Structure 1
Amino acid sequence: MIRNVLGAVLALAGAAAAVLSPFRDWYDGRLGRHYRLGDLFTGTGVTGTQSGGLFGSLWLPFLCAAVVTVLGVLLRSRTLVALAGVVVLGFTVLWMVRVFQVTDSLAVAGDGSGLDVGVALAAGGGVLILAGAGAMPGRRRAPKYTAPKYTAPDSAAPDTWPPTREPGPSVQTSPWPEPEGDDPYVGPDRSSPPGD
């Protein structure tokens, strides 16, 4: 229970950081939501062109990852939560590669001309989501029921009746021999009742 709560808190905090990161400066004073998502998949690297809106920017994959994180937490699925963390880190690293293609450096500068808080939020969010997936125990599967195997009686063994190892009521026999004749008054000691 504690691991589920801890994992959920870490994963949701990481998802919130990832969704918030495009609204902060990423590089050289440029917000993450101003980077076009399509620039990450071209060989030329990021351009100075502004994105067409939130759904055309880096915010879209982070939003999808946050939704997958919430679903994973609700379903207690470590796989879904880990997948969301990989998506966040993957897009962050891919963005770094594309920026490096254009600038030839990925420095952290004090004057705001290098990597900035948005990148740290995205990378930290991805790490937190993965940590949450690692902390969650996940769902436990119910053990499968296996029916006992039936073994046919050995044909070479003599048949005995009544069966002594079969389940069900046992055959009860009296310790006294059967009475002779039809006299209902003959007791177990084979004597007639007193007074005869």
Structure 2
Amino acid sequence: MIRNVVGAVLALAGATAAVLSPFRAWYDGRHGRDYALDELFTGITGAKADPWWSLLLPFALAALLTLVGVVLRSRPLVALAGLVVLGFTVFWMVRVGQYRGGLTVDGAGTGLGDGVANALGGGILLLLGALVMSGRRRRARRGTERREGPGDVEEPRPYAPPPGTPDPREAPVADPYGAPAGDPRESSAQGPYDPYDPYGSYDPHGSEPTRTFEVPGQDRGRDQGRDQGPDRGRDPDGPGSEPR
């Protein structure tokens, strides 16, 4: 985000310098808007050109490309605008050098003027802006979405298994106190919890018979109580028994 802002500022500054350069002196006090575009191909003359058919036209198109590139955060468009400005400036310098027999830099205003410096500086700023800009962020890797904002936070997508694949989150979990997960004998062999039989009679492998535990002496005491009393040894249903 910060890189895009800094790159946009550099690009806009370079486009502004490039557009203003034709209104400055380029060589011997002659402004850039006085050089016609066809003179770059046919030869430099002393005729004054139409401003919209001069060096102002390619520089205005470069400024338009810069605006579109900044809005779309497109590094190629901004870089293309910088190449257009630098290309036409260097091409003009070559043609003027052929016409004049060489280029000179003179502080008295008889050589290269500040308009050429503005054009060269604007093209360099456009290229720097394209290098600094981070451009439009694409998806970094599959399964994540990148959100534009401070810090460029990545948000994971919700998990979705492929079609026909069971969801691992719904897989049965093994019971640490009972039968293994997914045992078909679990529902039939293991009954409800019996407080009088804490060890249970469930056998996960089915190889041992059901075992029960009895308290020693429980049945013996019950039989002893039956043999004591006045009716000891009598048949409760035999002759001489009292009706109930």
Q: TM-score range by the shorter chain?
A: 0.7 to 0.9
Based on CA coordinates, which of the two structures has the bigger radius of gyration?
2
* Aligned with 1:94 (options 83, 91, 95): 91
Question: What are the ranges of 5 or more consecutive residues in structure 2 without an aligned counterpart?
Answer: 144-159, 173-181, 192-199, 202-209, 213-244
Q: 1:104 deviation in Å?
A: 1.1
| Residue in 2 that maps onto 1:48 | 46
Q: Distance in 2 between matches of 1:166 and 1:5?
A: 47
State the SS of the aligned residue for 1:109: coil
- Give 2:23's aligned residue: 23
Give the distance between the partners of 1:132 and 1:166, measured in 2 at CA. Answer: 51
2:127 is matched with 130
1:38 is aligned to 2:70: no
User: Shift in Å at residue 142 of structure 1?
Assistant: 1.6
User: How far, CA to CA, are the matches of 1:56 and 1:149 in structure 2?
Assistant: 62
| SS of aligned partner of 1:26 | strand
- Residue correspondence of structure 1 range 36-185 to structure 2 within 5 A: 36-42=36-42, 45-51=43-49, 53-143=50-140, 145=142, 166-167=166-167, 168=170, 170=172, 173=184, 174=186, 176-177=188-189
Q: CA deviation at 1:145?
A: 3.9
Change (3 A) 1:63 1:172: farther
Q: TM-score, normalised by structure 2?
A: 0.62
CA offset digits 1:12-50 (Å, max 9, x no partner): 0000000000001100010100000111122xx311111
How many residues align? The count is 167
Identity level (%): 57
Q: CA RMSD in A?
A: 2.8
Gaps of 5+ in 1: 151-164, 180-187, 192-196
Structure 1 distance, partners of 2:109, 2:140, is: 56
Using the size of structure 1 for normalisation, the TM-score is 0.76
Could you tell me how far apart the structure 2 residues matched to 1:82 and 1:148 are? 43
Query: Equivalents in 2 of 1:127, 1:143: separation in Å?
Result: 31
Cα deviation 1:65-120 (Å, max 9, x = unaligned): 00001111111111100000000000000000000011012111121010001000
Alpha-carbon distance between aligned partners in 1 of 2:190 and 2:100, rounded to the nearest angstrom:
109
Flag as ranges the 4+ runs of structure 1 deviating above 2 A: 143-150, 165-176, 188-191
1:123-181 deviation digits (Å, cap 9, x = unpaired): 0000010011111111121246489999xxxxxxxxxxxxxx943564574265289xx
Counterpart of 1:162 in structure 2 is none
- Find the residue that maps to 2:189 and give its secondary structure: coil
